[in-house]
A and B are shown apart, each in its own frame.
Chain A
Amino acid sequence: MSTATHDTNREAPAKPTTTVGKAADYLDQRTSIGVAVKEFARKIFPDHWSFMLGEIALFSFVVLIASGFFLAMFFEPSMALETYEGEHPANMHGQLMSVAFASTLEMSFEVRGGLLMRQIHHWAALIFMASIVVHMMRVFFTGAFRKPREINWIVGIVLMILGLAAGFTGYSLPDDVLSGNGLRITDGVIKSIPVIGSFLSYFVFGGEFPGHHIVPRLFTLHIFVIPGILLALIALHLFLMVLQKHTQFPGGGRTDKNVVGYPALPVYVAKMTGNFFIVAGVLVLMGATMAINNVWNYGPYDPSPVSAGAQPDWYMLFLEGSLRLMPGAGTEWVILGYTLPLNVLVPAVVIPGILFTFLIVYPFVEARVKGDDKEHHVLDRPRNVPVRTGLGVAFLAAFIILALAGSNDLIATHFALSINAITWVFRVLFFVGPVFAYYITKRICLGLQRKDRELVLHGHESGRIVRYANGEYIEVHTPLDDQERWLRVNYEAPAPLEIAPKTDARGVKRKGYGADKRWQGLSRFFYEDRVAPVTPAEVAHSHGEHDEPNGHDQLNGSERQAVEAGVGTTSREH
């Protein structure tokens, strides 16, 4: 049969008879959606509890949009001044305040469910940022950022930064004393920027701080610009995830060339929908039971008062802590009459700059020092990449120390300690803590890898003591099954980079040798200390070296097998 006749004879799809069938046919004739359904309905996704951390971030974002829509119906982003006529709360009645603050009070006290939505929105923002950070930790420690996912890693970092911006622009909107002081600190930081600082401050505030433009400007950013970009980048983030197919944890049958898991329909559709409702339910529960940001306790913004124990939302604490730790003495320089306030610039601009730069460049540095150009879809167990894991923990240590330093006044009051002493401890810890955390983590990883080797070579301790005819006692070790062993031997332990010699065959100095040498140095830092996976030869060798004691004859079949496969931790003389 020729192709021509084949084409003309091609069967038209059967006429649908059911309602669903007719609707599907209607849609398909106009969109060819059948192709997409065929592609995605039974698409396989790998399963692991940690893969839902990113989902929590996504679903918190959905809750943020839903509750934010509710709030936007009632919030008035205006700094016009009015006298509050509402009866509740009583302490605010008759006070002069901005319309923004007054509408925040009204939506809390007059709008049914308004306070609930405000509290859900605020808690959702905190959980949104927390799940982003924990999701990033999962991605970092398992090496999910490796080729081909470097771009998605950077998209993720941008999402995190936008999340910070969304949170900041959001909690500054009510125009209360707490957020007003937060804006004032921001103004101080902006002014510290060399050359353009003063102009940037005017740019942001529409004149001098605070002026009467900042709330409407933040509102536009908060409900339009930032969520718009967030939405677009989340779409890109998910698109790349689907395009590249999800990573999977190591295990039997899982390679860089396949995906092992469950089909989207029905398992993931059900699990994701369920997860969405659980995330939303928990956020609603938090909003219902835990009061947050009671702005009427702070009062409308006034440049004079400030409350002690004033903390920003948790994700901003590291910046706050950084500002608190920097010693002021001698760190404001005047050069040719121009002022360079390093006591603000370093903690508020340079330190976060270094932290974010580390996150952005890390995947590329690691690929370079490993000399790695392969696609990776099977995740690393964190112990198998000790230096990466160590660096990640060091980064977290720095972040947590800064966040704690941002709460030094609360630590001081709760534990009745000197604030000056606490600050000094944190100043030292900021430098010592990450180094210590790195070293300890790396040693723990190497130790765990050695433990894995021991298990593979000798098997599990069974607790059964067997006595041979010659009087010798041994403990029977049960060998690992194939799956257990595969998990512990299926990884790479690359050696540091080898580089071409300094001079070529004719003794001419090679161009680029210096750079190569530096990369090699970094590669040594990464891969000098390593624990290679056990090879089959080693297992065979560890058996072969034991002489066959006659006593084996007295063991029953399974014990004998066990002894042969895994004995070897007791020391024996023959």
Chain B
Amino acid sequence: MSENQNENQNDLGDTSADVTVPPETGTAVGSVERFQDPGVPEHKKRLTDTDPRAAKRAERTVTLLFVLSILGTIGSIVAYVMVPPDGTTAGVRLSTLLLGLGLAVSLLGIGIAGIHWAKALMGDHEYVQERHTLATQAEDREAAVNDLNEGLADSGVVGRRGMLKGAFFGSLALFPLAIAVPLIGSVGGDWNISKFKHTMWKRGMRLAIDPSGRPIKATDVTVGSVFHVVPETTEAFRETHEWITEKSKAVVLMVRLNPEDLLTDQSPEGEDWSYEGIVAYSKICTHVGCPVALYEQQTHHLLCPCHQSTFDIADSAKVVFGPANRRLPQLPITVDSEGYLVAQHDFAEPIGPSFWERLK
């Protein structure tokens, strides 16, 4: 049958395009190109239009819903007075629940009543309104252009007074500078971006446990244990903003491995940055700076919970998976005369995410 052939034209070998089009009839039967718009469908009456009892019922339902809303509001106030939180988390939760349920009933009652009213009882005759082309009529447009031209002509700017125009636009372009310069001067603090490159670790600074601040003896570190480490400072300093900012760069994750498990670390020739299998690496991910906090003892892998960059602690903290590109910088450590673990010096490279002038 011809229409089936047409519908499956592409199956018949024409693979260039998948087109289904009307057949080339050419016969006299119906040369009309398009169907006629049948017009707006006939209006159908609702039950509430034809049955007065249904209309009455709908009216009662709507009234009832508004009353329910009032009851919800009252319930919410009652809950406020009768059920004050008893001071526990559960008490706060209960108070929240009761206040909220009352308010929800109060709002939903109004909402559902309104919709039901509109759908069941308000007129549902469809109306047709004309649209008008959005573009302005030709004569209005002309008048507008004329007005603009007249205005421009009145201003005396057109075609002359180059100096005046230049000064006008120049002054407009420049005045924001008077606001922007002091703002930009202060908005970035001291603008000393070289601070990214250093942390507060210094030669001989003790490694301390985060958050207690207690220094760590090498003998306290058993094989397989993990320490979240910060530089040792005074307690007063640890209650300042400077501390939070410094800590953001200085946090270290320290692990003691079996010395035979430790394949490599980052110490250059002739130096030893680890101490009897104890290695300390920056805890700030080289991807976008999350704290790399999940250590897997069996595999010696360190996983960043934010984006799953994975580093191998036993092998210089090199990247084994994920979006990070660089290994975590190593903090060179040793012990002082009292047996406490101390830093040999600051990290040899900037910690944390990459930035444009990182290697400059």
Contact = CB atoms under 8 A, between A and B. Distances in A.
A543 to B, nearest CB: 8
Contacts of B85: 109, 112
B144 interface: no
A44 to B, nearest CB: 4
A420 B310 CA distance: 10
Nearest to A194: B356
A544 B27 contact: yes
Given A262-B126, A486-B38, A112 B80 contact: yes
A368 B38 CA distance: 32
Given A303-B248, A331-B325, A541-B27, A211 B1 contact: no
Interface centre among B40, B88, B107, B116 (most CB of A within 10 A): B107
A379 to B, nearest CB: 14
Interface stretch (A338-346, A498-506, A553-561): A338-346
Interface string B87-99: 1110011011101
B38 A482 contact: yes
B169 interface: no
Contacts of A252: 37-41
B244 A303 contact: yes
Contact of A284 (B2, B103, B323): B103
A329 B118 CA distance: 61
Interface string A437-458: 0000000001001100110010
Contacts of B130: 257-259
Nearest to A148: B134
A208 interface: yes
A486 B114 contact: no
Interface in A228-248: 243-245
B92 A109 contact: yes
B162 interface: no
B323 A323 contact: yes
B193 to A, nearest CB: 4
Nearest to B126: A260
A288 B99 contact: yes
Interface in B111-126: 111-119, 122-126
Interface stretch (B28-36, B46-54, B212-220): B28-36
A310 B323 contact: no
B187 to A, nearest CB: 6
A343 B325 contact: yes
Interface in B160-206: 184, 187-191, 193, 195-196
Contacts of A457: 3
Contact of B111 (A43, A96, A193, A278): A278
B355 A192 contact: yes
A328 B311 CA distance: 12
B287 to A, nearest CB: 7
Contact of B110 (A274, A449, A486, A489): A274
Interface stretch (B13-21, B145-153, B263-271, B329-337): B13-21
Contacts of A278: 107-108, 111-112, 115
A346 B168 CA distance: 42
A485 B118 contact: no
A310 B291 contact: no
B7 A328 contact: no
Contacts of A327: 322-323
A494 to B, nearest CB: 12
Nearest to B252: A304
Contact of A323 (B18, B80, B210, B307): B307
B281 to A, nearest CB: 14
Given A191-B353, A206-B187, A453-B20, A328 B323 contact: yes
A485 B100 CA distance: 50
Contacts of A309: 305
Nearest to A271: B118
B241 A211 contact: yes
A112 B307 CA distance: 38
Interface string A105-146: 000110011011001100000000000000000000000000
A326 interface: yes
A184 B353 CA distance: 10
A285 B323 contact: no
B45 interface: no
Given A43-B129, A261-B126, A198 B22 contact: no
Interface string A391-402: 000000000000
Contacts of B255: none
A346 B184 CA distance: 28
B19 A330 contact: no
A270 interface: yes
A521 interface: no
Given A88-B87, A457-B3, A544-B27, A483 B353 contact: no
Contacts of B319: 328-329
Contacts of B20: 449-450, 453, 530-532
Contact of A538 (B25, B114, B134, B324): B25
A489 B32 CA distance: 13
Given A262-B126, A304-B228, 19 more contacts: A113-B80, A185-B306, A208-B189, A257-B131, A262-B127, A267-B122, A277-B111, A278-B107, A281-B106, A285-B108, A303-B248, A304-B247, A338-B359, A338-B360, A339-B359, A341-B355, A343-B323, A530-B19, A535-B34
29 contacts: A79-B241, A113-B99, A115-B92, A119-B96, A184-B289, A187-B353, A196-B356, A202-B189, A207-B190, A208-B248, A209-B248, A271-B115, A273-B111, A274-B112, A274-B116, A275-B111, A277-B110, A303-B244, A306-B305, A320-B307, A323-B287, A339-B358, A339-B359, A343-B325, A450-B20, A489-B35, A529-B18, A535-B33, A541-B23
10 cross-chain pairs, A with B, having the tightest CB-CB distances, nearest first: A288-B100, A188-B288, A274-B114, A207-B189, A277-B111, A253-B40, A278-B111, A281-B107, A281-B108, A540-B30
